[in-house]
Structure 1
Amino acid sequence: MELKARDKVIAAVLVILAIVVFVGGRYHDNHTNFTTEKWVNSVGNDRQKVLQNLRDRTQFVGMTTEEVKELLGEPEEETEAFLNYPVGIPQGLFGTKADAETEYFVIYLEDGKVTETEVCIAGLLPKESIYRTIGEATEDAVLYPEGTKE
């Protein structure tokens, strides 16, 4: 049984519509508006969903450490030189990227004020970070600088 031309067009339109709905839904899931509540109460990779909106809307340079903490809550890691907030594993079109590493939102400080922000993986974190990966990212990799954490 062969489909008529009209039926082929309808089938093609339905397939395209399904793809648009799927891609649009995934985009929306991964790009939602930032709120302090969403950031502070995040679970798993939830911070990935609001990170871009946060960075687009917030002028971090010049903010004080207290202002950042008021906006983002307490960091996972804090030194005089930086604040570190884990944001999770990046999301792809079909969910979590299989080969991706956990990303961190690092806020660099000088004299208690933000000088720069960066999203990076463990191997690119500041050398003082307890989350920095040293060497190859393998199962037996050292996950922190020797002597800083047991």
Structure 2
Amino acid sequence: MSKKLKYGILMIGVIVLIGFGLKGRITHEQFDSYRWKNWTESETEWSLRWEMMNSLRNNYELKGLTKAQIIELLGEPESKTKNEFGYFLGYSKRGINTGRMTINFEKNKVTDFSVWDG
């Protein structure tokens, strides 16, 4: 067997393994403010918010937004303190893991946000 053939087979194998590893973890669900705000924890929508996260992160600049702008975009958070909003994301499609997005504020503006899966 030639080196080129071996290399080609190896590359195809690596691509297939990466594909199986990512299967179900990358979605193309577009962020929709209305659907996000009206999300219900039901069997048909368990992962809806989780699936919208990539679109939200890639298409919206959250840093610098005010609390009022975040509420307009995402609705009332499930939990909040003076400097933090928390949004439940539903099931993350990794077994029974669920997700949560935390948005941090300083002087009424978003300074950072993080997504937790666990």
TM-score normalised to structure 2 length: 0.69
CA deviations over 1:77-130 (Å, ceiling 9, x no partner): 111111000001212xxxxx22x52110110011111000100146xxxxxxxx
Report how many residues are paired.
91
State the Cα distance separating 1:30 from its structure 2 match. Answer: 3.1
Q: Secondary structure at the match of 2:69?
A: helix
Q: Secondary structure at the match of 1:85?
A: strand
Q: As a proportion of its length, which structure holds more strand?
A: 2
State the Cα distance separating 1:42 from its structure 2 match. Answer: 1.7
Q: Secondary structure at the match of 2:76?
A: coil
Counterpart selection for 2:61 from 44, 59, 62: 59
Counterpart selection for 2:90 from 82, 88, 91: 88
Paired-residue identity, %: 29
Q: Match for residue 109 of structure 1?
A: 105
Counterpart selection for 2:35 from 31, 38, 51: 38
Q: Secondary structure at the match of 2:86?
A: strand
Query: CA separation in 1, counterparts of 2:74 and 2:88?
Result: 11
Counterpart selection for 1:76 from 56, 78, 84: 78
- The amino acid that maps onto 2:28 is H
Contact in 2 for aligned 1:33/1:50 (Cα 8 Å)? yes
Flag as ranges the 4+ runs of structure 1 deviating above 3 A.
Answer: none
Query: CA separation in 2, counterparts of 1:34 and 1:110?
Result: 25
Contact in 1 for aligned 2:92/2:117 (Cα 8 Å)? no
Contact in 2 for aligned 1:80/1:110 (Cα 8 Å)? no
Unaligned runs of 5+ in 2: 1-19, 41-45
- Rg (Cα) greater in structure: 1
